[in-house]
Structure 1
Amino acid sequence: MKLSEILQESLIKYPLKGTVKVEVIEELLEELVKNQLIRQRDDVLDAILERERLMTTGVGHGVAIPHCRTQLIQNFVIAIGVHPEGVDFESFDHKPAHIVFLLIGPNDQHGTHLRLLTRISRIISQPHVRDALLQLKTPAEIYQFLIDQESTLIN
C-alpha cells in the first residue's frame, strides 16, 4: 500500500498548535474525525496513547510517527501535521518534533502497517524532505510535495 492511497489534502494540518505531545495527537485525530474516518475518537486516542506508552514514536530529526492498530477501524488512515515551533515527543535525539505523521490501521493488518511505517520512514529520512516540509505553508503544498516525493524516492 502506498501513502498516496490513504493521504488526503484535508488530513494535513498546518500549523499544528498543541504545546504537548497529547495535544498534537488530538489535533491530528480531530482531522480524521472531521473527515468521518474515525468514529470512536476517545477509544482510538486511548489506543494511540497506549502504544506511545510502550515506546516513544519520536524518531528523531524533528519527526514523530505516532501510530497504532485497532479493531475500531477497517481501513488505514493517516493525518499529517507540521509544527513550526516543535513539540517534545521524547525523541531519542532529544530534539522537538516539527513533522508528525499519525497512522492508524486495522488490528489484523500488521504487515501492511509495518510496510506503511517503512514507507513513511524512507521518505522522511531524507534531509531535503524534512527541510522542505518546514518551508511549505499550506496543506495543498505539503500534500503535493509528499506525493511527489513518494513517487520519486520509492518505486
Structure 2
Amino acid sequence: MSLSEYITPEHIKTPLTATTRDDAIRELIELIAPRLTDSEKAYKAVLEREKIMTTGVGNGLAIPHCKHESCPDFAIALGVHPTGVDFRSVDNKEARIIVLLVGPENSPAQHIKLLSRISRLLNNKEFREKILNASSAQEIAELIDEYDNTL
C-alpha cells in the first residue's frame, strides 16, 4: 500500500487559496471528485467528522478524513497553503499541509492503515519542510514517492 498510488499530481494543489477550513476541504474534495459518486455528500461527511473532533493534528498539519458511501475506493488529496488555515489544531497553529482521505464505509481497517501511513510520513520534519518549499504538484508527488518508500 503506497501513498503514491493514491496521491498523484492531479490530487495535489499548491497553493491552496482557501481562507477557511471548510473552503480548504472543498478545494481538496474537488481534486478527488471524479473518484466519488457524490462529492457534495462526501464534503458534508468530512465536515460532520470535523464536528466530532478536529483533524488539525499540530505542527502545521491537518488530516481531515471520513468514510462514506459515495467513495467506492480510497481517495486522497494533498494541499499546501502558503500561510495556513485554522483547523482548530491541538497546538493552535494553522495548518499549512492538509491531507484529505475519503474511503469506503466497508473498509475501516484499510482506512486506519492509510491514516497511520499518512501520519508517519508527515511526522518527518525534513519531508514537511520539503513539501512546504516545493514549487509544483509534480515535485510534491515525487517527494511522496521518495519518502513513502522509506516507511
Which TM-score applies when normalising by structure 2?
0.97
Which of 118, 129, 136 aligns to 1:131? It is 129
> Number of paired residues?
151
Cα RMSD for the two superposed structures: 0.8
Question: Does structure 1 conserve the Cα–Cα contact (< 8 Å) formed by 2:39 and 2:70?
Answer: no
The structural deviation recorded for 1:106 is 0.4
Unaligned runs of 5+ in 1: none
The aligned residue for residue 62 of structure 2 is 64
The aligned residue for residue 118 of structure 2 is 120
2-structure distance, mates of 1:74, 1:38: 7
2-structure distance, mates of 1:80, 1:39: 20
Identity %: 41
Cα displacement string for residues 15-50 of structure 1 (whole angstroms, at most 9, x for unaligned residues): 0000000000000111112xx112312111111001
Moved more, 105-114 or 2-11: 2-11
2-structure distance, mates of 1:126, 1:44: 29
1:70 counterpart letter in structure 2? H
Which of 93, 103, 106 aligns to 1:105? It is 103
Q: Where does structure 1 differ by over 3 angstroms across 4 or more consecutive aligned residues? A: none
The structural deviation recorded for 1:74 is 1.3
1-structure distance, mates of 2:68, 2:108: 10
The aligned residue for residue 21 of structure 2 is 21
Please give the secondary structure, in 1, of the residue aligned with 2:35.
Answer: coil
Question: Does structure 1 conserve the Cα–Cα contact (< 8 Å) formed by 2:36 and 2:72?
Answer: no
The aligned residue for residue 32 of structure 2 is 32
Please give the secondary structure, in 2, of the residue aligned with 1:108.
Answer: coil
Which of 137, 140, 143 aligns to 2:138? It is 140
1:10 aligned onto 2:49: no
1:75 aligned onto 2:105: no
Question: Does structure 1 conserve the Cα–Cα contact (< 8 Å) formed by 2:57 and 2:90?
Answer: yes
The aligned residue for residue 44 of structure 1 is 42
